[in-house]
Amino acid sequence: MSGKYIFVTGGVCSGLGKGVAASSIGSLLENRGLKVRMIKIDPYINVDPGTMSPYQHGEVYVTDDGAETDLDLGNYSRFTSAPLGRINSVTTGQVYQEVIRREREGRFLGRTVQVIPHITDEIKSRIFRVGDQPEVDVTIIEIGGTVGDIESIPFLETARQFIHDLGRQRVLFVHLTLIPIVSDGEMKTKPTQHSVASLRQIGIQPDILLCRASVPVPEELRRKISLFTNVEDEAVISAYDVHSTVYEIPLIFAEQKLDEIILAKLGFPATSCDLSKWQRVVEAYNAAERRVSIGLVGKYTELLDSYKSIYEALYHGGIDNHCQIELVKVDSDQLSDGAEGGLEEILSGLDGILIPGGFGQRGIEGMIQAAGYARRNRLPCFGICLGMQVMVIEYARGVLGWEDASSSEFSPESKHAVVSLLEDQIDVKAYGGTMRLGASPSRVVPGTKLHEIYGRTEISERHRHRYEVANVFREDLVKAGLIFSAFTPDNSLVEASEWPDHPWGIGVQYHPEFKSKPIAPHPLFSAFVAACMGNESS
């Protein structure tokens, strides 16, 4: 074993941005020529977030191999080129499930099964599965939750054991903490001191502190933090709020020589660093003068993280088109009454509408109303997963005149269930991991808008859904003018649809947002934003 390991922990409170911090570190190390791998540890007992409400956990990020994972893997994908899959996501549920399975099989030879060593050994094995590869230089492990949480203790204990197993020269601890500002404008360091003290009680002395604050932390305060936490002055980094784009964070860390400090502490040579790609992204974002207003009509708009990858992919499309994206979150429940005046009032100022994925009946009628408004008013409309299904349902109602058109998910008795369950899913009672998940190929039909956007006929995209366009109604929909522009290779399932005689009305059954990066925007999002720019209401 020759790889080295960086553990990223958080203190004081949750939601400080450990995922972005870990991703930025990974990006900086990649720019130094190192091969990086990323792991997210979530301390909840769920096996994965697949059955959790977006209000509980934010979006579910899907990898090529079909793993339903934490949204921070999306951050890892957007900031680094590290490969991501099932093995890069670890939860308490997975760990205990495996240890209990082995105990039931008698694999522990009658011994008492305990947190130490059996649970911690299982956690180690999952980390080594990723990091103990000859081509890997550094593995970055983000431990979810906050130091002091009872759920995180086994993972922090495992991290502590890495010091003894591998030695200090191969293990580094980065701790993200909060510097609150009280009413008189004074920055307070006491929460950081207590957070580090909690870590040290576990046996972990952080090597680097990332101090989150709304403004840069002054040098005098950083020296005080260094004195009270036993962290070197230069390793106390100011992680202040950015006012442009989150992709500026690697540049902010590099200015404070964070990557140089990490290289020195882990014994890597000080190679050159090329940050030009991040500089170009930030410059393009800041230089954009045009602005387009895009309404996201969804069911979970109250929580920003519910559609994290979609929001980021839209920003990527904006960067690619040199424009700013003004996101307008529209709760689809607001539109469910269907009054045309209400639709006009809420949607009339938008340059485009995006209808994202989701599950369950709540808010569906509002999404259908939004799709109809976009189709009738020739407003660019992008449907993703459920959003595509909604566009097909609306077309069946509005053009074919099937007033009862729906999905069997919402209206099992409908005579025109133009979206229905796959036959092999009808009797499935469990919900975790039973959907069509992960990357699969699709065939794009030449001559369609989709083909023009991709520029090829074979694509691979990631899926996460259980329902499909019903083949029994496919011919009727095509005769009514609806264009199906992509299929599975065997032509058995619809993968994309387009409205005829419309500037930009495209729905896709897959999730293109999961493959978009700021330095390589997904072509569908770039094309959608470009269409919205052509429709600028301002």
Supply the residues annotated as catalytic: 385, 511, 513
Cα–Cα dist 323/12, whole Å: 37
3-state secondary structure at position 216: coil
Q: With DSSP H G I counted as helix, E B as strand and the rest as coil, what are the percentages for the chain, rounded to 5? A: 45, 20, 35
Cis upstream peptide for 500 (omega within 30°): no
As a whole number of angstroms, the distance between CA 117 and CA 136 comes to 26
Helix segments in 403-473, DSSP class H: 449-454
Q: Rounded CA gap, 382 and 65, in Å?
A: 25
Exposure on the CB side of residue 153, measured as CA atoms within 13 A: 8
What's the Cα-to-Cα distance from 488 to each of 444, 457, 496, rounded to whole Å?
Answer: 9, 11, 10
Residue with tokens 């903490």: 177
Rounded to whole angstroms, how far apart are CA atoms 308 and 304?
7
- Name the phi and psi angles at 240, rounded to 5: -90, 160
Q: Are 507 and 388 in contact (CB under 8 A)?
A: yes
SS3 173: strand
- Asked whether the beta carbons of 418 and 465 are under 8 A apart, the reply is no
Q: Kindly tell me the burial class for residue 42, based on how many C-beta atoms sit within 10 Å of its own C-beta (0-12, 13-18, 19 or more).
A: buried
Give the chain's length: 538
Cβ neighbours of residue 203 under 8 Å, at least 6 residues apart?
A: 160, 163
Q: How far is CA 100 from the centre of its chain?
A: 30
> How would you list the strands of the sheet with 505-508, edge to edge?
323-331, 290-298, 352-355, 381-384, 505-508, 494-498, 483-487, 436-444, 458-465
User: Are the C-beta atoms of residues 25 and 262 closer than 8 Å to each other?
Assistant: yes
Six token digits for residue 156:
């922090």
